[in-house]
Amino acid sequence: MSKTIIFDTEATGIKEPVLIEAAWVELASLDPYEVTNAFEQRYNPGKTIDLGALATHHIMDEELVDCPPAASFTLPDGVEYLIGHNVDFDWEVIGKPDVKRICTLALARKVWPDLDSHNQSALLYHLERATARERLRNAHSALVDVGICAVILDHICRQLGVKTIDDLHVASEMARAPTTMPFGKHKGMPLTDIPRDYKQWLLNQQNIDPYLRKALGG
C-alpha cells in the first residue's frame, strides 16, 4: 500500500497558523484495518499562541521554549497520502506539501448526512458511545485526535466497503465536491439551479474553494 499517515496538528491559531504540535499514525492496511508507528512532537512556533487556540488545545507558550522550531518539521519519507479531519487546515499548517489528501470530515458528512454535528467528538459519541467520554478526556492533543480520527476512518471504510487507499481517495474527492451552494444569497440551493450570471461571477473570484470551482464547472 502507498505510504499513508493519519495526521493532526495543533497550531497557534486560525489566522496565519504556525505549528506547535504534530502527530500521526501510519495506516498500514485497510483490509484488514491496521495502524502502526505512532509519532508525536511539539514545536516552538516563534510567535504567541492565540487565546482561542490556547483555550482549545491547552498547550502554553512557555512549554514550547526548548522545543525544536516549527520550521524544522518534515513529513516522514515517502508519504503519498495524508488523512485528517478537515485535512486542508493541517496541510496548510505544514506548508502545503505535495501529497494527496483524504478528508474524513467530508466523508463523514457523506456517510452520515443526518447527524447534527460532524466534528470528531460528536462522531465518536455516535459510533462508539460506550467508550467515547473516556477517550475524549484528552481531545485536542494531536496524538489523541489522530487516534479518534483512525477510529472514525475505520467506520467510514466499513460503511463504504472501501478496501484500497486509491478507492478511499476517490471517495474523499467525490465527498468534497459540494452539490448545494455552501454560502451567500443562494446558500442551500442545488448548484444546478444557481443563476448563470452568479455562477460566472463566482468562477471569476480568485479565492474560491477549488472543489466548489470544479463542481461549478470551472
Mean pLDDT of 118-142: 91
| Model pLDDT, residue 28 | 96
| Model pLDDT, residue 187 | 87
Spatial separation of the C-alpha atoms in residues 218 and 42, rounded to whole Å = 40
Maximal C-alpha separation, the chain: 56
Mean pLDDT of 82-94: 97
Residues 171 and 186 in one domain: no
From the list 25, 28, 52, 22, the residue with the least C-alpha distance to 38 is 25
Residues 77 and 30 in one domain: yes
pLDDT band at 58 (very low <50, low <70, confident <90, very high): very high
Residues 98 and 190 in one domain: no
Residues 14 and 79 in one domain: yes
Q: Is the pLDDT of residue 206 over 90?
A: no
Query: Could you tell me the three cell numbers for 99?
Result: 501529497
| Model pLDDT, residue 182 | 83
Residues 122 and 183 in one domain: no
Mean pLDDT of 69-94: 97
Q: What CATH number does residue 20 fall under? A: 3.30.420.10
Residues 192 and 100 in one domain: no
Range of the domain at 152: 4-176
Residues 24 and 123 in one domain: yes
- The SS3 assignment for 69 reads strand
In one-letter notation, the amino acid at residue 205 is Q
Q: Is the pLDDT of residue 218 over 60?
A: no
Residues 111 and 69 in one domain: yes
Cell 504534530, residue located: 22
Residues 157 and 134 in one domain: yes
Spatial separation of the C-alpha atoms in residues 13 and 49, rounded to whole Å = 7
If you average pLDDT over every residue of the chain, what do you get?
94
In one-letter notation, the amino acid at residue 122 is A
Spatial separation of the C-alpha atoms in residues 53 and 153, rounded to whole Å = 25
| Model pLDDT, residue 180 | 86
SS (H, E, C) 111-167: HCCCCCCCCHHHHHHHHCHHHHHHHHHHECEHHHHHHHHHHHHHHHHHHHCCCCHHH
Residues 182 and 217 in one domain: yes
Which are the contacts of 133, defined by CB distance < 8 A and separation ≥ 6?
A: 125
Phi first, then psi: give them for residue 27, nearest 5 degrees.
-85, 100
Count CB atoms within 10 A of the CB of residue 6: 27
Q: Is the pLDDT of residue 179 over 70?
A: yes
pTM confidence score: 0.89
Query: Could you tell me the three cell numbers for 160?
Result: 463504504
From the list 135, 130, 131, 161, the residue with the least C-alpha distance to 146 is 135
Split into its structural domains, the chain has a count of 2
Cβ atoms of 83 and 104 closer than 8 Å: yes
Q: Is the pLDDT of residue 146 over 90?
A: yes
